[in-house]
Amino acid sequence: MLKKFAISFLLLALTGCALRSPFGGSPKPPAQPAVDLSAAPIAATVAVFVPRDIAEKRSHFVYAHEGVWFPEGEVITATSLRGFAQAFQTARPADELQKADVIVKVGGNSVLNPMVQRYYVDAFGQCLTPQGRLLEEFRASAVAETEFAYTKAFDDAYFKAFREIAARVALSDKCRGAAP
């Protein structure tokens, strides 16, 4: 009897969560202006730095008594490089380049909501000087519809966010002026 009550209560509580907006009761973030990439890729080299704790990040999702670990750090690394490659002529990991026009530190966080089959991604990019001083910070979010477990939607959501960040970095005078 107690077990049935607990399960009913849990299902009711989760249903209430599923009906809320993705931003809960907090105000929605301000709308970002559209980015024009008609001139992309620009003739510059970008060094993409993924900190070790982000690169090795693994996320655990649980749903219906099953769980899966997925290599979120590998997804962040791969999708950030693909995203920056669309805005810059050359995009490589920072440890592979001796000199770069732009240095960007990237990272991100994600949440899977299996009840509504949505994957939420928040990504960031920090434009740095060669000495490591922060020049400008960029953030982007994306949502992808997905089934439970690791799918292409996880890649797509991160890629969409990093492509937007890359476009903003490419158009930033502060970041492009940081080259030695």
Q: What is the pLDDT of residue 2?
A: 65
Q: What is the pLDDT of residue 171?
A: 86
Q: What is the pLDDT of residue 22?
A: 43
Name the domain count of the chain: 1
Residue 64 lies in a domain: yes
Contact between 58 and 69 under an 8 Å Cβ cutoff? The reply is: yes
Contact between 79 and 144 under an 8 Å Cβ cutoff? The reply is: no
Whether cis (ω within 30° of 0) applies to the bond prior to 41 is: yes
- 133-146 burial, b if ≥16 CB within 10 A, otherwise e? eebbebbbbbebeb
- What region, left, alpha or beta, does residue 24 occupy, with left being phi > 0 and alpha being psi -120 to 50 degrees? left
- Residue 107 CA to residue 114 CA, distance in Å, equals 23
Residue 23 lies in a domain: no
Extract the tokens encoding 160: 């969409």
Residue 59 lies in a domain: yes
Residue 149 lies in a domain: yes
Residue 8 lies in a domain: no
Other CB atoms within 10 A of residue 13 CB = 10
Confirm whether pTM is higher than 0.75: no
The CATH number of the domain where 97 resides is what?
Answer: 3.30.160
What residue numbers bound the domain in which 90 lies? 45-176
Residue 111 lies in a domain: yes
Residue 4 lies in a domain: no
Residue 6 lies in a domain: no
Beta bridge partners of 157: none
Helix (H, G, I), strand (E, B) or coil at 83: helix
Helix (H, G, I), strand (E, B) or coil at 78: helix
Q: Which residues of the chain have pLDDT under 70?
A: 1-40, 63, 147-151, 177-180
